[in-house]
Structure 1
Amino acid sequence: MKRLKKGLFQKSQNYSRRQLVIQIIFASLVVVFFFRIINIYQIDAGGISIQKKASKQAELTSSVQARRGDILDRHGDVLASNLILKKINLDSTQIQTAFIPKLAQALMMPEKKLRKIIKKKLSKHAGRKNLIIKQNLRLTNPILEKIKALKKIRLKICKIKRKKKQINFLDTVLIFTKLKADKPTDSRVEACKREQIKGVRLQTDTRRYYPKSAALAPLIGRINHNKKGISGIEGEFESILAGQNSLTHLGFNSDSQGAYFNPIVHKALKHGQDIQLTIDTNVQFHAYAAIKKAVEKHEANSGSAIILKPNGEILAMVNYPADDPNNKALYNPKHYRNRVLSDKLDPGSTVKPFTMLLALEKKKITAKDDELIDVTKRIGHLKPDKKYKYMTVKKILQKSHNLGTVNVAERLTKEDLYDTWSKLGFGRPLGLIPSIENSGLLRYYSDWSKADKRSLSFGYGPMQTNLAQLARAYLVFANDGAIPSLKLINGIATNKQKTQVFSKQTTHRIAELLDAVVSLKGSGYRARIKGYSVAGKTGTAEMVINGRYNKNGAKRTFFTGFVPVKKPKYIMAVRLDYPKKCYAYYKPYSKISCKGSNSAAIVFKEAMENILNSDQSVKLLAKK
């Protein structure tokens, strides 16, 4: 009996002990959990509390990209715009293997190639989640529809998962209190379910598109891979075209009523502005086609041209060679050079009309048919050619006679020449695209020698210019002796005042004489256009190479003219750099020395003839 009582007492005592142990364990857990709850707000996590860290993780900075402005011509035709495209971005870590064959079909590429690309991407430690597999896809590209269809398909995807064996509550408590070692055991099981493809993202992208291709490339310029303008109009007006991306900060606001996030706008979204040029794409096209043809036919290094309206608006600005800016794989900096504005040069005989204008204005000549200029005596280094003894002003211009021109210039003062050339704009910036423009040179007359004064009268010496300045000077023939500022961008204020350089009567008289230059007896005979009155002047100038004028045939040829002679509507200046093959007019296969008469004059004729044929208003003027 005593043994029985003793046994019951021991069992009861053991049971009480176990209860006590369990109670202690639970009490310990409660203390631990309570401690954690109190301390969770005070735990340091990288220098800040978890509360603050959670709040910080809830913050977000978002940005919306501004749309780049378009570049338009005078009629609103697009010269540069943003083409909306799509690209396919793959997350190589998410794509299920079972989908790769169908994905390859949708991408219209070999499966083996796709697997190789994904494998290579997976082998990299960084950037594995972004694989641009296709880009620059037009919205009509069939690949886009195939990808959309693929995303709707579900395939059976099986994965091997580790399944951890469950343990009872008591073991959980003992493990937590470290009274028992944690020895997890698990098993591998196959889990299958039907899934859609993962890791395939269709993203919107934009690409700058230039509809007129190479014809306007040196003027319009291009953007770089960061979509920032780096040349031409794109570069000069980057801040206007690019606009401003938005920047918004979203942060947690515990004091807000019903609003979880409090948006703060740091930068407002401003889309880029459109820029409209004075360029006429039809005129530009004909000028570009003529320049390109001439450069290739005459094997010239390059060619350029500019066409103006009488009010100074630029209708065309052409340079060749030029690259297609839509072809990103093709880039030669020289082919984006705007030679019309950036190159300073000797304009040669194209300035002779201004010498005659000034002499007539100062009453040093009469420019009448009975006035004869003696060309039998040497002046400076210029010797008589024994072909002419006495020449009229008309004949001097018609034959582009240097000695006759210098004979007239000898009657003028340095001050008058300098003042007139300055008023014509030589050596002064035009302000069209300042970052690339070369304003040329016009030395002050006090530094001139006699040789400088003489050579200035026929396009050499103390003056160098760019092609745009030369064309602008010829605007006096379309504005009764006055000269307006040039204009390239509509909507930008320009000086509307004209500078009066010559009188109306003087300008009209010399314009009549320049009409004779573009005749069968004149140096500009190959600029004639049937049915229209054309006036202008040829020019040929030696090129400066390594600081010296080249005497081995490296020349620039020019023609600057206007049409019609009375009330001109178009003024055009043409330049060819070192044309090497020129041909006689009556013997098309007979090679002759290249001059402005047999190269640049032809460009004027071919371009202007096409322009006039599409302009009915000029035909009416020509008949009056």
Structure 2
Amino acid sequence: MKIARVQGYRNRQSLVKICFIAIVIIFIYRAFSVTDIKANDIPLKAKASKNSEFSLVEKSIRGNILDRNNNLLAINLIHKKINLDPMIIQEEYIDLLADALEMPRMDFREQIIEKKINKRKYFIVKEKLKVNDPILKNIAELQKKRSKVCFKTSKNPTITLIDKAKKIIGMKPSAKEMIEVNKCARQRIAGVAIESGGFRYYPKKDSIAPLIGKTNSENIGVFGIESEYDQYLAGINGVKRLADNKDNSNIYYDAEMIKKFKQGEDLKLTIDSDIQFHVFNAIKEQAEFHEADSAAAIVLSPNGEILALANYPSTNPNNHQSYSADDYRNRVFSDKTEPGSTMKPFTMLLALDKGVITATDDELIDVKNRVGNIPPDKKYFEMTIQQILEKSHNLGTVMVAENIENEEFYDTWEKLGFGRSLGVMPGTENSGVLRHFSNWGLADKRSLSFGHGPMNTNLAQLARAYLVFANDGALPSLKLLKDENKNENITQVFTPESTQRISQILDSVASDNGSGYRAVIDGYSVAGKTGTAEMVIDGQYNKDGAKRTYFVGYSPADKPKYIMAVRLDYPKKCFVSWDPTMRNRCEGSNSASMAFKKPWKEYSLMILK
């Protein structure tokens, strides 16, 4: 049977071929040009590449802070937190979730309702949970369960025969609203996530908080060591960029380093946490006993290392419920005060070096006549240098100072470091003032000789000055970082001979004959000096009993191992030594010296071990 060709067959065949070739050409063109198509003025190729790139942040871990014996003072701990999405938590699970969280059902339900009303999808219901917290186990078990959950859903209405017929003949069926129906199914709880995080923990708590400081919610140091050395402790977050690579068989190639990751450095301090603990408890208990507003103390080794630095009041930095900036105030560095009679030994050292006195037992200083505004006490008429220091006699000190030039005073006080930053914690320290001698009058020099007038200082500077008694008249710099690589700068301030002689006298000050009799520790030789200074309030010396009391001492007296300075601010309740019920005015002898000694023997033994 012969099949005849349809009329116009060749024409139609040519048309089909042309159309096919045209389609192929268009397809090839589009294949090569699609990457140049723009979407919102951005080429699709560029947009695709951009969408295939992302940055990866590698967070650094903050460095630890340790004491000289590698005991931890600040550390990062792993914690867990429970994050909820109230918008998708099923109604049937709310009470069960409250039980797992160990929260009252009604309170928890009210919180969830409030979050839903405000359309909150992020709700940290528990945080800073230890990894073994039973709440985490409860949540993990709850997440494994399947319970019957009923919910509303929408579905299309049933299609009628008329709608089907309309659809067949090409007519549009009549529009109908979705039908809402109830549906139940066994489901796991939704919207509950256990997340990991880190937090800063301070094992020594309030005993060292003003020195160590703390970090904020962003893990940035805001007080103390945490703030001063934040750039070393914090490290640097690393940033990498991942992008597609068309020349490689892999989807992504090696990450491009945008910012190099650097782990936070550990800091090792010169602090001895055992001594720190006992010193803090000593000043806390003595401040409370004497009803002082505050207290501070610092302990040094002969080479200038800070072994303890305590402040009261303080706070537990692990407690985030309450906060007071005053509890983080480092009074040892930040408070500039007049040090009172604790400066008298340096006046005698200078006088002895200059040949103004001999400090022998037979040398007598006339104290019968008034000098300026300093009257005689009519109790002593002639005194040895030892008696002047033992009794902390102002007039006797001034009589010696009258023979010393202003410039000699200024140069020596400057060598002792007064009026200059110690360089230990620059952001915290108030370096005090030492006014130039060209601006002094007679009253300035006289008051300077017993710790007042044209100078004020912080407790750390005062303690450092006493290092001359442990270094034969030389003065090393203070150190807070252990094994710090820096050139030691030691200044020879007094001669070894003068230093040894005055040190012998200070040994008698901390005895039954001296003002520091309450600093005596049985079985140990202690040398030191008391001090009392009226507080300046509203620009004037307070005459209503507001005083600061001091004791700066060291032990053993001949070869000091520890140097300690203590200050109590405005003690209000002091007693005589022979009757614990008889009140007396507060001086360095009956308040600060007691904090140096510490009535609880085990603390004193720890300091002088």
Give the structure-2-normalised TM-score: 0.89
Q: 1:191 to 1:60 in 2, by over 3 A?
A: farther
Spell out, residue by residue over 1:298-337, the C-alpha distance to the aligned partner (whole angstroms, 9 max, x if none).
1111111111000000011111111211111221111211
Determine the C-alpha separation between the residues in 2 that align with 1:43 and 1:96: 46
Query: Structure 1 residues 404, 608: closer, same or farther in 2, change over 3 A?
Result: farther
1:457 aligns with 2:449: yes
Conserved 8 A contact 1:579-1:594: yes
Matched with 1:133 is 125
CA contact (8 A) 1:165 1:184 kept: no
> How far off its partner does 1:550 sit?
1.4
The reply to whether residue 95 of structure 1 matches residue 84 of structure 2 is: no
Q: Under a length normalisation based on structure 1, what TM-score does the superposition of the two structures give?
A: 0.87
C-alpha deviations, 1:144-170, integer Å up to 9, x for none?
011111222223445554445899xxx
1:522 has 2:514 as partner: yes
Give, as a single letter, the amino acid of the residue that structure 1 aligns with 2:56: S
Secondary structure at 2:208 match in 1: helix
- The structure 1 residue matched to 2:499, chosen from 494, 497, 507, is 507
Match of 1:424 among 416, 426, 434: 416
What amino acid maps onto 1:366 in structure 2? Answer: T
Secondary structure in 2 aligned to 1:63? strand
Q: Aligned AA for 2:516?
A: G
Pick aligned residue for 1:586 from 578, 581, 585: 578
Is the counterpart of residue 60 in structure 1 residue 88 in structure 2? Answer: no
With 499-508 and 111-120 compared, the bigger mean Cα shift is at 111-120
Structure 2: unaligned runs, 5 residues or longer? 1-19
Question: Number of residue pairs matched?
Answer: 580
Contact preservation (8 Å) 1:485, 1:494: no
Alignment of 1:374 onto 2:388: no
Does residue 419 of structure 2 align to residue 447 of structure 1?
no
Q: Provide, for residues 574-605 of structure 1, a one-character-per-residue CA deviation record: whole Å limited to 9, x for no partner.
A: 11111111001001010011000000010001
**Residues 393 and 58 of structure 1: CA distance in aligned 2, closer, same or farther (over 3 Å):** same
The verdict on how the C-alpha distance between 1:252 and 1:292 changes in structure 2, with shifts beyond 3 A counting, is same
- Residue type of the partner of 2:251? A
Cα deviation 1:30-81 (Å, max 9, x = unaligned):
99x999x889877754443555545433332232321111111111111111
Greater alpha carbon shift after TM alignment, 115-124 vs 301-310:
115-124
Provide the residue aligned with 2:102 in structure 1: 108
Shifted more, 207-216 versus 59-68: the winner is 59-68
Matched to 1:123, the amino acid is: I
Alpha-carbon separation, structure 1, partners of 2:600 and 2:489: 28
- Give the CA RMSD over aligned residues: 2.9
Report whether the alignment pairs 1:497 with 2:489. Answer: yes
1:301 corresponding residue in structure 2: 293
The amino acid that maps onto 1:58 is S
Query: How many Å separate the matches in 1 of 2:432 and 2:367?
Result: 32
Instruction: Work out whether 1:73 is the aligned partner of 2:76.
Output: no
The percent of aligned pairs where both chains have the same amino acid is: 53
- Say if 2:278 and 2:606, in contact at 8 Å, map to a contact too: no
Could you tell me how far apart the structure 2 residues matched to 1:182 and 1:48 are?
Answer: 42
Match of residue 312 from structure 1: 304
The equivalent residue for 2:592 is: 600
Q: Say whether the 8 Å CA contact 1:215–1:285 is kept in structure 2.
A: yes
Taking the aligned partners of 2:242 and 2:594, their CA distance within structure 1 comes to 65
Give the counterpart of 2:79 among 82, 85, 88.
85
* Paired AA for residue 581 in structure 2: Y
Q: Secondary structure at the match of 1:303?
A: strand
For residues 401-438 of structure 1, the C-alpha deviation after alignment (integer angstroms, 9 at most, x for no partner) is 11111111111111211111111111111011101111
Matched, 1:564 2:556: yes
What residue identity is the alignment partner of 1:71? I
Q: 1:612: how far off?
A: 4.9
* Whole-angstrom CA distance in 1 between matches of 2:175 and 2:351: 109
Which amino acid letter does the alignment assign opposite residue 564 of structure 2?
A: M
Aligned-partner residue type, residue 84 of structure 2: L
Alpha-carbon offset, residue 182 of structure 1:
6.7
Are the counterparts in 2 of residues 487 and 494 from structure 1 also a CA contact under 8 Å? Answer: no
CA distance in structure 2 between the partners assigned to 1:233 and 1:315 by the alignment: 15
Q: Structure 2 matches for 1:174-573, cutoff 5 A?
A: 181=172, 193-260=185-252, 263-573=255-565
Query: What's the CA shift for 1:120?
Result: 1.8
> Contact conserved, 2:275 with 2:606, CA < 8 A, in 1?
no
Alpha-carbon distance between aligned partners in 1 of 2:595 and 2:432, rounded to the nearest angstrom: 24
